């Protein structure tokens, strides 16, 4: 399994890239003179590019395999980081953020596909472990990133991330096992649809909601409550640490309870954390609850891979598309909601959305096969 480690590390790096703007929100806003809405929009461009890349790259993944596909994509992500680091104005900032999103668009999907090819009997376990490692990436994007920014500046941080992305591109392309020829292109099933709507709508609310909060609005909300940068780093670290525990625990619970029940539990915990924060409760505890519940999110894609064995890359990418569209829509949409309702009102709306998104798990969407995990 060590040979597959670069795939998991790639997802951890993708987590750092998507989360970096949360910890760096204040220096970015000050240096670039960005309003909350403008910074939210710039951050969300990552997810828009990430989403638009899903279907074409998912098809490429099924044709070329994860090693060749992800090796090239992480090189693109490295270019995006360096452009963002060098940018003096909006055009290059936006282009850099877009290239980052495209470059890591299949980080998790490609890793799961590699596990399905090389270790299919351990797919759920490796899925949970990879999401947990992504949570470690989130931890690096909290207090350590704040400290690194103090030493290097935010431009130096993104430059370093660019070189790390290039290193992973080489490790994946030349350090992971090749796929068997018959695994690179699987026949398409007669009833396959590029976007499976039932798990896709679940992903929109749950994956979209969690990462919109985790990757930006959790940091912005904490700053708005008057916390210092060091205190913001600590509460974000708590959220990300809890997400690691949730990812590890979610895989084990799915094996025992079924993926549908495990996902319902994860969504419930995430929603409770949102309600706690919106009600003015202890922010550290509320963030920990959000992270614990949000950590179950990787089960959505692992479940999808088993439902579509004829085109797993495209199926996971289709579901991921709706999940990332959810991140983009909620991350950008929460900006105006915050300006009208305040942060607590916006978090309450997001909690209500989790209740709506859970309806498929109550028998209205996910088929029985998915519930057994």
Angle between helix 312-357 and 197-212 (nearest 10) = 70
Give the span between the Cα atoms of 126 and 350, in whole angstroms.
30
Distance, CA of 285 to chain centre: 22
Find the DSSP H helices in the chain. 5-23, 25-32, 36-52, 54-64, 66-86, 90-103, 107-118, 123-140, 143-175, 197-212, 218-224, 229-257, 259-278, 283-294, 299-307, 312-357, 368-371
SS3 assignment for 80-113: HHHHHHHCCCHHHHHHHHHHHHHHCCCHHHHHHH
> Model-level pTM greater than 0.85?
no
**pLDDT tens digits, residue range 140-185?**
877 788 889 889 999 999 999 999 999 999 999 888 888 776 544 4
**pLDDT tens digits, residue range 272-331?**
999 998 888 788 899 999 999 998 988 888 777 777 777 777 888 888 888 878 887 887
**pLDDT tens digits, residue range 35-52?**
777 777 888 788 788 888
**159-163, 212-216, 357-361: which range is least confident on average?**
357-361
Residue 70 banded pLDDT, cuts 50, 70, 90: very high
* Cβ–Cβ under 8 Å, residues 58 and 109: yes
**77-91, 148-162, 341-355: which range is least confident on average?**
341-355
How many beta carbons lie within 10 A of that of residue 187, not counting itself? Answer: 8
Domain 2-177+194-371, classified CATH 2.102.10.10, yes or no: no
What dihedral angle (degrees, nearest 10) is formed by the CA atoms of 303, 67, 176, 242? -40
Give the span between the Cα atoms of 115 and 329, in whole angstroms.
30
The closest alpha carbon to 301, from 206, 187, 161, belongs to 206
């Amino acid at each position: 399994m060590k040979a597959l480690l670069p795939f998991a590390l790639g997802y951890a790096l993708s987590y750092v890239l998507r989360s970096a703007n949360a910890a760096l929100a204040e220096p970015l806003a000050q240096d670039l003179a960005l309003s909350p809405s403008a910074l939210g929009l710039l951050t969300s461009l990552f997810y828009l590019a990430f989403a638009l890349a899903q279907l074409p790259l998912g098809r490429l993944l099924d044709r070329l395999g994860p090693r060749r596909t992800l090796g090239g994509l992480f090189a693109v992500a490295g270019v995006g980081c360096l452009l963002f680091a060098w940018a003096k104005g909006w055009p290059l900032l936006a282009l850099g953020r877009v290239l980052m999103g495209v470059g890591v668009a299949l980080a998790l999907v490609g890793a799961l596909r590699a596990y399905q090819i090389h270790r299919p009997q351990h797919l759920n376990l490796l899925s949970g472990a990879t999401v947990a490692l992504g949570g470690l990436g989130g931890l690096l994007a909290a207090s350590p990133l704040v400290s690194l920014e103090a030493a290097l500046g935010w431009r130096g941080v993104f430059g370093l991330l660019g070189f790390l992305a290039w290193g992973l591109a080489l490790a994946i392309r030349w350090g992971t096992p090749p796929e068997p020829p018959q695994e690179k292109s699987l026949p398409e099933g007669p009833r396959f649809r590029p976007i499976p709507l039932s798990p896709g709508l679940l992903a929109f609310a749950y994956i979209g909601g969690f990462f919109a909060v985790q990757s930006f609005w959790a940091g912005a909300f904490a700053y708005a409550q008057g916390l210092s940068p060091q205190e913001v780093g600590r509460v974000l670290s708590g959220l990300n640490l809890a997400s690691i525990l949730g990812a590890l625990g979610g895989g084990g619970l799915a094996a025992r309870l079924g993926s549908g029940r495990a996902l319902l539990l994860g969504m419930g915990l995430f929603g409770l954390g949102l309600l706690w924060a919106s009600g003015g409760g202890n922010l550290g505890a509320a963030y920990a609850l959000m992270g614990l519940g949000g950590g179950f999110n990787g089960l959505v894609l692992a479940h999808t891979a088993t439902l579509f064995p004829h085109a797993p890359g495209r199926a996971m990418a289709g579901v991921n598309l709706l999940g990332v569209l959810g991140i983009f829509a909620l991350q950008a949409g929460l900006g105006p909601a915050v300006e009208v309702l305040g942060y607590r009102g916006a978090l309450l709306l997001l909690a209500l959305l989790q209740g709506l998104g859970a309806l498929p798990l109550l028998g209205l969407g996910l088929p029985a096969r998915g519930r057994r995990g």
